[in-house]
Chains A and B, each alone.
Chain A
């Protein structure tokens, strides 16, 4: 779409191309647009009064508060963790590097419900750490810490996976130059590396935050659905739905949908920036490849000199 003009191979659709385009647009409308419309229509089905009551209800406000708290813990944590892990994966060589990369991707491959269960087995009353936690009067499962830990796990890959390709693309040159000028590791990170990857980092944080706010499966298992205590917005929607408060459930769901739309817009804006900065560094990489070729040709001894 946005990069169509960079790609000479793309052309306007024709014949079969149109068929594919129309089919995919219809599917998109059915799968994405229609539910969005349904959410809004149903949210207001019993009038604006019900809608307002639902979103100002005590339990809804508490669920919103918990969701915001989770996002406020998870996003800063993963910002720091993501930068550290991306730095390890792109700037260091060590045994087990491939393993680290795989572990970071694990939450993408494990079902969220399963990961939630893992935490119950680990921290629950009959879990491995359960007795110890009980002795120290710490509640993890069916309490806020469990919700936070499960969300941390599920959102682990977002920032790292956004940073790694960008850091690989920009290379180490500027960091080496900074080191040769006497900059310390921290100075290099703050003054050279982070300014270069800031859009990718921000984009990763937006995705991470969106997932943290919307996570259902893992949180559902560890939270225990305690109304007004361990219920996040997605869980609260389920509770309301289960209690046949259909309009209220859709009203709360529309809050999540709205935050999702904001994320999409942010994502669209950021993606353009990230791509622009990647394109800049990859065009630099092309230039240097061309130069390397030039040097190798010009250093071949002239034919006449060979006997």
Chain B
């Protein structure tokens, strides 16, 4: 199930959220859109989902143009940053929602809905909480309800907007590993947005670095770390510092400034990756 955006642009007022962006998400992949806040990654995700229509460019699903169709028509499941659970409904009804709103002909029977919802709740390890309301759940539990709710309609592609952003560090780490295992189990094509490079590198097969509405690099976590395509990527993904210098004479590099390196006095510093340019 290939999902493709080509030459997509989107402007909000004067702010150019996406500037001529092209991406291809291949079947079964787990891709992370990584970048600082306000860089356009959530907008790109919403354009891929069909929650936002681009000012220019096209979105294609398996080669067919879907630029103007909504998320459901695209077979896309969306998990919102703040979960957007239906707070007037129980956990069970939240998960069952997508099944209950199906057109009469496709709507499963009550027995099937019961079975399916309980399976999904088991999958996200929330079996005991079916009768609770969202405000009686912890952040991590809400996140998993949101995921189960999105999975209930069997989306071909799962899109997650900062799925762990609102959780504390420990829960975030647990859920991360769990999401990766879930992906390996269900093989559903997944795209997630994150500003946390550690998170992106840990679970994604491929990472797209997005900044100021453009894609700065598209590659595996390893490629990003070892061969950052631009100073911005190097800066954003690695803990290492960029030290500018000038080559003088026979291979002697004069460093412009070393003061910003946070290292104790006397520590030895190794320059591992040297990018040579003018």
Contacts and interface: CB of A to CB of B under 8 A. Distances in A.
Contacts of A195: 88
A46 to B, nearest CB: 53
A182 B98 contact: yes
Interface in B32-58: 35-38, 49, 51
Contacts of B76: 180
Given A298-B196, A301-B235, A305-B241, A177 B78 contact: yes
Interface string A161-201: 00000000000011011111111100100011001100000
Contacts of B195: 295, 298-299
Interface in B64-91: 70-72, 76-78, 80, 82, 84-88
B101 interface: yes
Nearest to A304: B262
Contact of B235 (A177, A196, A280, A306): A306
B1 interface: no
Contacts of A292: 37
B105 to A, nearest CB: 13
B235 to A, nearest CB: 5
Contacts of B71: 179-180
A300 B36 contact: yes
A173 B149 CA distance: 14
A288 interface: yes
A1 B86 CA distance: 31
A136 interface: no
B84 A305 contact: no
A173 B88 contact: no
A174 B241 contact: no
B239 interface: yes
Given A182-B102, A184-B101, A177 B236 contact: no
B166 interface: yes
Contact of A174 (B37, B86, B236): B86
B45 to A, nearest CB: 12
A291 interface: yes
Contact of A307 (B98, B166, B196, B256): B256
Contacts of A173: 80, 82, 84
Given A181-B101, A183-B97, A301-B236, A307 B37 contact: no
Nearest to A178: B97
A92 interface: no
A12 interface: no
Contacts of A174: 84-87
Interface string A275-288: 00000100010011
Contacts of A291: 82, 165-166
B137 interface: no
A29 to B, nearest CB: 41
A14 interface: no
A182 B153 contact: yes
A123 to B, nearest CB: 43
B122 interface: no
Given A291-B165, A301-B235, A187 B101 contact: yes
B72 A181 contact: yes
Contacts of B135: 280
Contacts of B101: 178, 181-184, 187, 191
B136 interface: no
Interface in B100-128: 101-102
A109 interface: no
Interface residues of B, number: 47
Indicate the member of A182, A191, A284 with the most B CB atoms within 10 Å. A182
A174 B84 CA distance: 5
Contact of B77 (A180, A284, A299, A306): A180
Nearest to A187: B101
Interface string A120-155: 000000000000000000000000000000000000
A178 B86 contact: yes
A303 B69 CA distance: 43
B250 interface: no
Nearest to A171: B84
Contacts of A183: 97, 101
A180 B262 contact: no
Contact of A182 (B36, B72, B80, B85): B72
B270 to A, nearest CB: 15
Contacts of B102: 182
B138 interface: no
A191 B196 contact: no
A295 B80 contact: no
B244 A176 contact: no
A184 B149 CA distance: 17
Contacts of B51: 176, 179-180
Given A192-B88, A305-B239, 5 more contacts: A180-B71, A196-B87, A299-B35, A303-B262, A305-B238
13 contacts: A173-B80, A174-B84, A174-B86, A180-B77, A181-B101, A182-B153, A191-B101, A298-B196, A304-B239, A304-B241, A304-B261, A307-B242, A307-B257
Nearest 6 Cβ contacts at the A-B interface = A181-B98, A173-B84, A182-B72, A177-B84, A180-B71, A299-B36
